């Protein structure tokens, strides 16, 4: 577990700004998880390994700022440690989506990287990865995304927070038959410039449904059903 802020190793979006980088690595718990018949035995939970990396804006020095200035990673660790207490979960993606939502529950978090691995699912592999990776790091993290994706998975690159230059692990890309797609997005400043006139005009979005944080799976199912009109919100 490591935290860093400022320029140098933790310099991400803008060299003129400071960011906190918080890493929780190799969190291992046993959960009842999976679609295969052998994964559904109630007395045979399996190990999963979780990794979380948070990037949050740091507006000033830590000195004198107190505990409130530091990202609270205990809530993420506690959520992972509570997984053994939940009922059976069919898809590893469900845990992944819940963990991502928890990361962004802190408004200071501008980006995150989350991976969950089932290391014991097949004897002939090093684990099973996820179907869909949202890559925001760029040069510093792209090969980690290649490793995290399952065979036939997809990687969507929406940011280059740690630079453009990168030696891509081509054997992994081809060997796992991965698809990698580049998507362009704007900066936070651009988003704030877009929102400012909307706020001044008093415009309000149409909200179809609001779910509690515990109902995140229901919110995702609602979005997947494509029957909503307006925004789907999660209150935390």
Domain limits, the chain: 2-201, 204-236
With left for phi above 0 and alpha for psi between -120 and 50, is residue 8 left, alpha or beta?
left
Two structure tokens written together for 205: 């979005």
Q: Name, in order, each residue with C-beta under 8 angstroms of 76's C-beta and a sequence gap of 6 or more.
A: 24, 52, 99, 102, 103
- Rounded CA-CA distance 56/80 in Å is 20
The tokens for 23 are: 């890493």
Q: Are the beta carbons of 208 and 230 closer than 8 angstroms?
A: yes
CB atoms within 10 A of CB 141: 20
Domain topology for 2-201: GTP Cyclohydrolase I, domain 2 (3.30.1130)
d(CA 151, CA 129): 8
Instruction: Count Cβ atoms within 10 A of the Cβ of residue 66 and give its class: 0-12 exposed, 13-18 middle, 19 or more buried.
Output: exposed
The CA distance from 121 to 47, in Å, is 9
Averaged pLDDT score across all residues of the chain: 78
Task: Read off the pLDDT of residues 97-111 as tens digits, 9 standing for 90 and up.
Answer: 999 999 988 888 888
Query: Within 13 A of 5's CA, how many CA atoms are on the CB side?
Result: 14
Which one has a higher pLDDT value, 3 or 184?
184
Question: Residue 225: what pLDDT?
Answer: 86
* Tally of CB atoms within 10 A around 148: 22
pTM for this structure?
0.47
pLDDT at 63 (0 to 100):
47
Q: For residues 20 and 65, which has the higher predicted lDDT (pLDDT)?
A: 20
Helices (H) and strands (E) in the chain, counts: 6, 9
Q: Tell me if 218 sits within 8 A of 234, measured CB to CB.
A: no
Is 70 exceeded by the pLDDT of residue 15? no
The single residue listed with the structure tokens 């919110």 is 219
* Beta pairing partners, 30: 47
Q: How far apart, in whole angstroms, are the C-alpha atoms of residue 49 and residue 103?
A: 17
Which residue, 19, 26, 29, 17, is CA-closest to 54?
19
φ, ψ at 30 (rounded to 5°): -105, 130
Rank 39-43, 187-191, 221-225 by mean pLDDT and report only the highest. 221-225
Mean pLDDT over 134-152 rounds to 77
């Amino acid at each position: 577990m490591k935290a860093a802020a400022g320029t140098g190793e933790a310099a991400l979006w803008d060299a003129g700004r400071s960011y906190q980088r918080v890493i929780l690595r190799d969190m291992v718990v046993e959960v009842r998880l999976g679609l295969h018949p052998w994964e559904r035995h109630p007395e045979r939970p399996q190990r999963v390994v979780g990794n979380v990396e948070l990037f949050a804006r740091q507006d000033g020095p830590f000195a004198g700022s107190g505990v409130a200035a530091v990202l609270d990673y205990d809530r993420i660790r506690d959520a992972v440690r509570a997984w053994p207490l939940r009922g059976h979960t069919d898809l590893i993606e469900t845990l992944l989506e819940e963990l991502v939502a928890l990361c962004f529950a802190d408004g200071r978090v501008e980006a995150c990287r989350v991976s969950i691995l089932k290391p014991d699912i097949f004897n002939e592999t090093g684990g099973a990865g996820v179907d869909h990776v949202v890559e925001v790091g760029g040069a510093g993290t792209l090969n980690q995304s290649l490793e995290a994706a399952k065979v036939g998975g997809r990687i969507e690159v929406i940011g280059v927070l740690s630079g453009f230059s990168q030696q891509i692990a081509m054997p992994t890309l081809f060997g796992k038959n991965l698809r990698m797609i580049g998507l362009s997005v704007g900066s936070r400043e651009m988003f704030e410039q877009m929102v400012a006139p909307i706020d001044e005009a008093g415009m309000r979005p149409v909200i179809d449904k609001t779910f509690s944080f515990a109902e995140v799976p229901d919110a995702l199912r609602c979005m997947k059903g494509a029957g909503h009109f307006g925004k789907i919100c999660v209150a935390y």
